Amino acid sequence: MSLGSELRPAVVVVGGSRGIGKAIATVAARQGGPVVLVARSHDSLLAAATEVQEAGGEAFTLDLDLFSAGASLRLEAFLQENRLYCDVLVNSAGYGLRGAATTLPIGEQLGIIDVNVRALSELTLRFLPGMLARRRGGVLNLGSIAGFTPGPNMALYYASKSFVRSFSDALHEELRHAGVTVTCVAPGPVETEFLDRSGAGRAMLFKVLPRADAVDVAESAWRGFKAGRRLVVPGVSAKLTAFVASILPTAVLLPLIGRLQRRGNDPCPCGSGAKYKNCCGKGWLSRIAPGG
Ligand SMILES: NC(=O)c1ccc[n+]([C@@H]2O[C@H](COP(=O)([O-])OP(=O)(O)OC[C@H]3O[C@@H](n4cnc5c(N)ncnc54)[C@H](OP(=O)(O)O)[C@@H]3O)[C@@H](O)[C@H]2O)c1
């Protein structure tokens, strides 16, 4: 079979039903051509497809749960059935959980690794060989400024984003002379459902940092990807935060982030069942933040 000659190139947005993924799909749709939206929520996918069409793209939707076995193979089969190939892969599916790791459900925490790390890696590795054979296209992975530091009280999420940044950086270097781009976009807080769903929106850190608009982040991410950049940190505030995180000593950064992501009413990580502020955090909290 000739490589890609009978098939049409598609932008495949995993996590395209809402938020940053949907915004990137809409920006990508302006170039015309097929855009494949992948996520679990059927109705949200259909709504996103309408926006993609209005922006000038030809929308396809696939209801797919990344937790399910063989998800990347199902996506590959869907593309074949529709006479498409994955020219650009956008990995935007992801979630986080705020709270001390010892107090959060283990299954939901491990799910962060399944979606943010395992599925992202599997999709990337599944579609890169075709891109390399055609010497075009690439992968746009959603990292975060959370990938620049460990994040107490959101430990697995920060660790997952650190992985995304490291994995994407390494692939970018391996492939940069092969006609394929791998870009990591690392936004600060973005106004999407992510903040409420993860519980992060209730933490001081996410109240202090300004929230970017998903479309602005998408424009910046798509521009950076098209320019072949390794890392895109959209907006001044996210750049500043990433810079501060990279220069502050870990011994200073860890308690600072831990404090800004903890709420006094959170359950104590020691497992007593009491609130943190009435248990291990008693003396510490009253010294740092009276009434906290
Ligand atoms: N919002 C922020 O502040 C922020 C900041 C930095 C980085 N990010 C990162 O940006 C990415 C997108 O976040 P967002 O803000 O757009 O969040 P969002 O609005 O919650 O969107 C998440 C997307 O992922 C999909 N998804 C989640 N689990 C899935 C699964 N098991 N299978 C298939 N699809 C799944 C969701 O669709 P369904 O639920 O329909 O499946 C949805 O389309 C994430 O990786 C996030 O970590 C977000």
| Ligand 1 atom 34: residue of nearest CA | 39
Judge if the beta carbon of residue 40 lies within 6 A of ligand 1. yes
Instruction: Indicate if 276 belongs to the active site.
Output: no
Closest residue to atom 7 of ligand 1, CA basis:
144
Q: Among 103-107, 168-172, 254-258, 283-287, which is the least confidently predicted range?
A: 283-287
- 261 — pLDDT class (breaks 50, 70, 90): very high
- Tens-digit pLDDT profile for residues 35-93: 999 999 999 999 999 999 999 999 999 999 999 999 999 999 999 999 999 999 999 99
pTM of the model: 0.95
**Phi, psi angles (nearest 5°) of residue 153:** 75, 15
CA angle 121, 163, 134 (to 5 degrees): 40
Instruction: Give the pLDDT confidence score for residue 2 in this predicted structure.
Output: 44
Closest Cα to atom 21 of ligand 1: 19
Q: How confident is the model at residue 211 (pLDDT cuts 50, 70, 90)?
A: very high
Probe target for ligand 1 pocket from 116, 117, 184, 190, with the most ligand atoms within 8 Å of CB: 190
Please work out whether the CB of residue 98 comes within 6 Å of at least one atom of ligand 1.
Answer: no
Contact 165 CB / ligand 1 (< 6 Å)? no
Out of 20, 61, 122, 216, give the residue to mutate to test ligand 1, the one with the largest number of ligand atoms within 8 Å of its CB: 20
pLDDT of residue 290: 46
Which residue has tokens 């995180």? 245
Position 292 pLDDT exceeds 80: no
How is the chain classified by DSSP, letter by letter?
--TTTSSEEEEEEET-SSHHHHHHHHHHHTT-SEEEEEES-HHHHHHHHHHHHHTT-EEEEEE--TTSTTHHHHHHHHHHHTTEEEEEEEE-------S-TTTS-HHHHHHHIIIIIIIHHHHHHHHHHHHHHHT--EEEEE--GGGGS--TTSHHHHHHHHHHHHHHHHHHHHHTTTT-EEEEE--S-BSSTHHHHHSGGGSHHHHHSPPBPHHHHHHHHHHHHHTT-SEE--SHHHHHHHHHHHHS-HHHHHHHHHHHT--TTSBPTTSSSSBGGGTTTHHHHHHHSTT-
C-alpha distances in angstroms, 189 versus 24, 80, 140, 234? 16, 36, 18, 10
Whether 212 shows a pLDDT value over 80: the answer reads yes
Mean pLDDT of 172-198: 97
Nearest-atom number in ligand 1 for the CA of 18 is 43
- How high does pLDDT run on average in the chain? 94
Q: Using 50, 70 and 90 to split pLDDT, how confident is the model at 4?
A: very low
